[in-house]
Chains A and B, each alone.
Chain A
Amino acid sequence: MKETLQSRGSTAVRTRFFKRYGKYLYLLPAAVWIVGVVGYPVTRAFFFSFFDYNPLRADRTFVGLENYVRILQDPVFQKAMINSAIWTFGCVFFQVVFGLIGAVLLNQRFRGRGGIRGLTLIPWATPSVLAAMMWMWILDGNYGLLNDVLKRTGIIELPIPWFSQTTTALPALMLIDVWQGIPFFAVMLLAALQQVPGDLLEAAKLDGAGPWKIFWSVVFPLITPTLLITTVLRIVWTASYMDLMMVVTQGGPAYATLPIPLSAYYTAYSELAFGEAMAKATVQALLLLLFVLVYLRLFRRRGAVDDVQ
Chain B
Amino acid sequence: MKKMVGAIGGTRKAWILLLIVAFLLGACSSGSQSGQSGQGSPSPSASSPSASLPAAGGQKVTIDYWYWVDDAQNDTIAQLIDKFNAEHPDIQVVGRLVPFNEFQQTLINAYASNDLPDASRFKDWWVGQFAENNLLEPLDGYIQNLEYKDDIDEPFWKTGKTADPNSPVYMMPHQYITFYLYYRKDLFEQAGLNPPRTFDDFLNAAIKLTDPAKGQYGFAYRGGGGGQDQWYAFMLAGGARMLDENGNVIINNAKGVEVNQWYLDLVKKHKVAPPTAASDSYAQILAGFQAGTTAMMAHHIGSYETLYQTHGDKLGVVPTPQADPNNPATMGTMTGNVLFATSDQKDAAWTFLAWLSGPEATDILSKSTNGQLPVLKSLTDKPEYRERNEGWKVALESERFAITGPPLEGVGKIAGSVWKENNDLALFGQITSQQMMDAIAQALKE
Contacts and interface: CB of A to CB of B under 8 A. Distances in A.
Direct contact of A and B (CB under 8 A): yes
Contact of B109 (A140, A246, A249, A269): A269
B276 A163 contact: yes
Contacts of B425: 254-255
Interface in B204-263: 212, 215, 223-225
A271 B439 CA distance: 13
A54 B111 CA distance: 12
Contact of B279 (A247, A249, A255): A249
A250 interface: yes
Looking at A26, A129, A141, which has the most chain B CB atoms within 10 Å of its CB? A141
Contacts of A129: 39-41
A253 B104 contact: no
Interface in B401-446: 413, 416-418, 420-421, 424-425, 427-428, 430
Residue with the greatest number of chain B CB neighbours at <10 A, chosen from A142, A250, A255: A142
Contacts of A123: none
Given A143-B291, A161-B275, A56 B430 contact: no
Nearest to B417: A270
Interface string A238-261: 000001001101111111000000
A176 to B, nearest CB: 15
B28 interface: no
A164 B279 contact: yes
B427 A55 contact: no
A217 B51 CA distance: 66
A98 interface: no
A169 B4 CA distance: 49
A94 interface: no
Given A142-B288, A254-B427, A164 B108 contact: no
Contacts of B276: 140-142, 161, 163-164
Given A164-B276, A250-B225, A269 B39 contact: no
B283 to A, nearest CB: 10
Interface in A152-166: 158-159, 161, 163-166
A270 B40 contact: no
Interface string B366-382: 00000000000000000
A165 B135 CA distance: 40
Interface string A183-208: 00000000000000000000000000
Chain A interface mostly: loop
B130 interface: yes
A266 interface: yes
A270 B111 contact: no
B438 to A, nearest CB: 16
Interface residues of A, number: 34
Contacts of A270: 104-105, 413, 416-418
Contacts of B112: 55
A57 interface: yes
A247 B287 CA distance: 18
Given A161-B279, A164-B279, A166-B428, A252 B420 contact: yes
B331 to A, nearest CB: 21
A272 interface: yes
A15 to B, nearest CB: 14
A78 B188 CA distance: 48
B133 interface: yes
Contacts of A166: 428
Given A56-B129, A141-B275, A254-B427, A266 B417 contact: yes
Contacts of B130: 56
Given A247-B40, A269-B416, A254 B428 contact: yes
A252 to B, nearest CB: 5
Interface string A134-160: 000000111100000000000000110
Given A56-B108, A56-B129, A269-B105, A253 B278 contact: yes
Contacts of B293: 142
Given A158-B212, A269-B105, A252 B275 contact: no
A159 B288 CA distance: 14
Interface in B328-374: none
8 contacts: A142-B276, A163-B279, A164-B277, A164-B280, A243-B42, A251-B421, A253-B427, A254-B430
8 closest residue pairs by CB, A with B: A141-B276, A270-B416, A270-B417, A56-B133, A254-B424, A161-B275, A269-B105, A161-B276
Given A159-B275, A252-B421, A255-B425, 9 more contacts: A55-B111, A55-B112, A56-B133, A159-B215, A164-B278, A243-B42, A250-B420, A269-B108, A271-B417
Interface of B: 4, 39-42, 104-105, 108-109, 111-112, 129-130, 133, 135, 212, 215, 223-225, 274-280, 287-288, 291, 293, 413, 416-418, 420-421, 424-425, 427-428, 430
